[in-house]
């Protein structure tokens, strides 16, 4: 059992939703880009706030995370919102991503990956998207280290525009949102934060 697993189990074992119950603000802003129907994958979805919101938008949602404690709360949140989400216990780095299976793939603040793990995860996400499918990513930039209001303490786990451009070079309609703003997403994402968001489409 890895230290990372134990750390997240302990975090998600808290009674409150540590990132809140509302969807990530950047994901919510992407609502106009979502298809009216189709399949969505929420990667390392934790307590379910993003997968539940995607299901509320009419999508057939599959959420993966390696924390049983997190998914226990995610299931409760789905029941609370009267939506169906397929929750699967899985490691985002080693999961067998199916080929061209999803119309939307969403990765929000999953920055516990080492560079090697991140490469595996992003390759899997690319594989899983259907041609023309929508990719949504948000994460912290290196400037976040100065704020210290959430996220990892390791520089190589932060996201930058050149890193994302290189990883998803074959995609089209790339749109970046890089900003510093006050975040209020539970106790773990609270305060001034430096973030980057990306939306793009897999080339048909």
Distance CA 112, CA 13 (A): 18
What's the farthest any 2 CA atoms get from each other in the chain?
44
The pLDDT tens digits of the residues spanning 23-79 come to: 999 999 999 999 999 999 999 999 999 999 999 999 999 999 999 999 999 999 999
Q: Is 26 exposed, middle or buried (0-12, 13-18, 19+ CB in 10 A)?
A: buried
Residues 6+ apart with CB under 8 A from 144: 150, 151, 158, 193, 194, 195
Task: Report the share of the chain in percent with pLDDT over 90.
Answer: 87
Indicate whether this model's pTM tops 0.85. Answer: yes
Structure tokens at 130: 């259907």
Domains annotated for the chain, with CATH where assigned, are 3-202 (3.40.50.150)
Q: Any alpha helices (H) in the chain, and if so which ranges?
A: 3-12, 25-29, 49-56, 68-80, 115-128, 144-147, 161-167
Distance CA 57, CA 193 (A): 27
Distance CA 123, CA 111 (A): 15
Q: How far is CA 34 from CA 2, 96, 111, 157, 196, in A?
A: 35, 25, 24, 28, 19
The pLDDT tens digits of the residues spanning 102-116 come to: 999 999 999 989 999
């Amino acid at each position: 059992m890895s230290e990372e697993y134990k750390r997240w189990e302990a975090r998600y074992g808290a009674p409150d939703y540590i990132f809140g119950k509302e969807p990530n603000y950047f994901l919510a802003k992407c609502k106009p880009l979502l298809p009216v129907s189709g399949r969505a994958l929420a990667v390392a979805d934790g307590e379910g706030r993003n997968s539940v919101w995607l299901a509320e938008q009419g999508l057939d949602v599959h959420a993966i995370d390696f924390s049983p404690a997190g998914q226990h709360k995610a299931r409760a949140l789905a029941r609370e919102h009267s939506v169906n989400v397929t929750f699967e216990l899985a490691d985002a780095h080693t999961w067998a991503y199916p080929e061209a299976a999803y119309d939307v793939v969403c990765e929000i603040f999953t920055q516990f990956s080492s560079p090697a793990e991140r490469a595996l995860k992003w390759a899997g996400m690319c594989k899983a998207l259907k041609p023309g499918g929508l990719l949504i990513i948000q994460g912290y930039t290196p400037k976040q280290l100065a704020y210290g209001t959430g996220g990892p303490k390791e520089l190589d786990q932060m996201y930058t525009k050149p890193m994302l451009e290189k990883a998803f070079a074959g995609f089209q309609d790339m749109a970046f949102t890089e900003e510093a703003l006050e975040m209020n997403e539970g106790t773990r994402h609270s305060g001034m934060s430096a973030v980057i968001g990306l939306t793009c489409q897999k080339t048909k």
